Chain A
Amino acid sequence: DTAVSQTPKYLVTQMGNDKSIKCEQNLGHDTMYWYKQDSKKFLKIMFSYNNKELIINETVPNRFSPKSPDKAHLNLHINSLELGDSAVYFCASSHPGLAGGPRETQYFGPGTRLLVL
C-alpha cells in the first residue's frame, strides 16, 4: 500500500553508462515530479509532469529524459552518466487541487541513491 514508490533504491554504476529510475504513485494524483538532492541535502526540482504532459523543466542537461506513460508513472532515464550525477533522486506527486486539497502539498517517494564511479 505504498503511496509513492521508486525502483531501484540504490544504483551503483560506471561513468558513461545509461540508467533508468522508475516511479509509481497510487494516490490518484495528476502531477508528478523529479527532484535531485545533493550531498548538502539541497532538494532541487528537475521536472514536473501533469497528466503525462511536461510542465516544468529546470535547466537540466538533456542527458536526463523523463517519460510519463500514464499519470501514475514517471520514469527518469539518464544517458552517459557523469560523476556529478551522484545524488539521491526523489519522485513526488501532488493532489489535484480544489476539493482534492491544495496542489503544493507534495508527497515524496523513498528516493533512489545513485552513485556514479
Chain B
Amino acid sequence: EDKVVQSPLSLVVHEGDTVTLNCSYEVTNFRSLLWYKQEKKAPTFLFMLTSSGIEKKSGRLSSILDKKELFSILNITATQTGDSAVYLCAGGIQGAQKLVFGQGTRLTINP
C-alpha cells in the first residue's frame, strides 16, 4: 500500500528560528512529491519536485527531493508567526493523477 510519512508530527519554535520538516514515501510508480501549507481552510500549493537533488526555493521556503533515499525536506528560514500551519507532503503517482498524503506536520511559531 502506498504510504507517505511526515515527521515530526508537531513542532513549536520561536520566531526567527529555522525549521526542517521531513517527508518519506513509499509510492508505487512514483512521479512527484508535493508540499502544501494548510492554515485554517484549504491546503495551498507550495512546491512540486520531480527531480532528485534540485532545490526549489520560494522566499524563505525551500525544498529538495532525494529519490534514492525516498524522502524530501522542507526548510523554512527566519520563521514568522504567519508560517504557523499544518504542512502536508504528498506523493504523486505516474499516470494516475492521484496524490497520497502524509499526516502533516503542525508547525507553531511563537513570537
On whether the beta carbons of B88 and A43 are closer than 8 Å, the reply is: yes
User: Pick the contact of B101 from A4, A31, A42, A107 — CB < 8 Å?
Assistant: A42
On whether the beta carbons of B41 and A102 are closer than 8 Å, the reply is: no
Question: Closest residue of chain B to A45, judged by CB?
Answer: B98
Distance A7 CA – B41 CA, assembled complex (angstroms)? 14
Distance A106 CA – B91 CA, assembled complex (angstroms)? 12
How many pairs, one residue from A and one from B, have CB atoms within 8 Å of each other in the complex?
Answer: 57
On whether the beta carbons of B103 and A104 are closer than 8 Å, the reply is: no
Question: Closest residue of chain A to B47, judged by CB?
Answer: A105
Question: Closest residue of chain A to B93, judged by CB?
Answer: A104
State how many residues of chain A have any CB contact under 8 Å with chain B. Answer: 24
Instruction: With both chains docked as a complex, state the minimum distance between the C-beta of A43 and any C-beta of chain B, in angstroms.
Output: 4
Interface SS majority for chain B: strand
State how many residues of chain B have any CB contact under 8 Å with chain A. Answer: 25
On whether the beta carbons of A106 and B99 are closer than 8 Å, the reply is: yes
Instruction: With both chains docked as a complex, state the minimum distance between the C-beta of A85 and any C-beta of chain B, in angstroms.
Output: 19
Interface residue A55 (Cβ < 8 Å from any Cβ of B): yes
- Known interface pairs A55-B97, A103-B97; A41-B86 also in contact (CB < 8 Å): yes
Interface residue B16 (Cβ < 8 Å from any Cβ of A): no
On whether the beta carbons of B97 and A104 are closer than 8 Å, the reply is: yes
Question: Closest residue of chain A to B91, judged by CB?
Answer: A104
Interface residue B44 (Cβ < 8 Å from any Cβ of A): yes
On whether the beta carbons of B92 and A108 are closer than 8 Å, the reply is: no
- Known interface pairs A104-B31, A105-B45; A56-B101 also in contact (CB < 8 Å): no
Beyond contacts A4-B42, A94-B97: 19 other A-B pairs, Cβ-Cβ < 8 A, are A31-B97, A41-B86, A41-B88, A41-B106, A43-B43, A44-B101, A45-B100, A48-B97, A90-B42, A90-B43, A102-B32, A104-B31, A104-B34, A105-B34, A105-B45, A106-B34, A106-B99, A109-B42, A110-B42
